[in-house]
Amino acid sequence: MLKLSKKADYGLMALQYIASVQFGDVAQARIINTKEIAEEHHIPVELLAKVLQALAKHGIVESQNGPKGGYLLARNAGTITIAQVLEAIEGPLGIADCYHDKDESTCLQREHCNIRTPLRKVQDSIYQLLNNMTVEDMMGGTPLITIQPTTTVEGVER
């Protein structure tokens, strides 16, 4: 119940990873391709590619084609909210469709609905919660340095 889809999970993981590499203190800012993210997190490559496409289309990441291509954040990590990410991947988010539906014909009990009004508060609270948290906030939670190409920090287990 209320579970995030796997695509959403993968998207958030990818963004956290990209942001960490791009703005992390140790690693150099570099473009990251889909394969690297997929292998690092053990997720299917093609599916992750599809997710990143959606994020690119919505202006969250910037795609670069060709060899040595890949993705990088389109804007600062602090301006990308979780809500924006989820909506880019899975469409408008909400506990019910009737809060942002144009056609009202979909819900048969729309007229006699007795929970639409009270649940709107829940809807708004959840959205506000997700729209206040950014991928920058997720960077703090990363416990271990991921990849260290040049220098070597003391033995952080990988």
Residues lying near DNA in the complex (CB under 7 A): 1, 3, 5-7, 33-35, 44, 46-47, 49-50, 52-53, 56-57, 63-71, 90
> What 3-state class would DSSP assign to 63?
strand
Instruction: Of 105, 110, 96, give the one whose Cα is nearest residue 2.
Output: 96
Nearer to DNA, 110 or 132 (CB): 110
Q: Which does 34 bind (CB under 5 to 8 A by kind): its own copies, DNA, none?
A: DNA
What are the C-alpha distances in Å from 128 to residues 35, 67, 93, 134, 149? 33, 40, 12, 12, 39
Q: Which does 133 bind (CB under 5 to 8 A by kind): DNA, its own copies, none?
A: its own copies
Q: CB-based burial of residue 18 (10 Å sphere; 0-12 exposed, 13-18 middle, 19+ buried)?
A: buried
Q: By CB under 8 A, name the binding residues for its own copies.
A: 1-5, 8-9, 12-13, 16-17, 20, 40-43, 82, 86-87, 89-97, 108-109, 112-115, 117-119, 121-122, 125-126, 129-130, 133, 137-138, 140-143
